[in-house]
Amino acid sequence: MRKLFAFAVATLLSVGAAQADRLDDIKKDGVLRVASFDSNPPFGSVDPATKQITGLDVDFAQAIADKIGVKLEVRPTNPANRIPLLTSGKVDLVLANFTITEERAKQLDFSIPYFASGQQFLAKKGTLSSPDQLNGLRIGADKGTTNEIVLRRDFPKAMVVAFDDTPFAFTALRNGNVQAITQDGPKLVGLLAKVPDRQNYEIPAFSISNDYIGVGIPKGETRLRDLVNETLRELEKSGKAATIYDRWFGPNTEQPLPRLFRIGEHD
What residue type is assigned to position 233 of the chain? R
Residue number with CB closer to another protein (140 or 186):
140
Smaller CB separation from another protein, 143 or 233: 143
Residues 6+ apart with CB under 8 A from 172: 140, 161, 163, 178, 181
186/102 Cα distance (integer angstroms): 22
Q: How far is it, in rounded angstroms, from Cα 32 to Cα 30? A: 7
Helix segments in 35-133, DSSP class H: 56-68, 82-87, 102-105
Closest to 121 in 3D by CA, of 146, 141, 105:
141
Type of residue at 23: L
Taking the least distance from each CB to another protein, the nearer of 126 and 176 is 176
State in angstroms the smallest separation of the CB of 40 from another protein: 8
Minimum distance, C-beta of residue 84 to another protein, in the bound complex (Å): 4
CB 121 within 8 A of CB 154: no
Residues that bind another protein (CB under 8 A): 6, 9-10, 12-13, 15-16, 19, 38-39, 41, 45-46, 48, 50-52, 75-78, 80-81, 83-85, 87-90, 103-104, 106-107, 138, 140, 143-145, 148-149, 159, 161-168, 170-172, 174-177, 191, 194-197
Least gap, CB of 189 to another protein (angstroms): 14
Cβ proximity to another protein, 3 vs 258, nearer residue: 3
Smallest separation (angstroms) from another protein to the CB of 264:
28
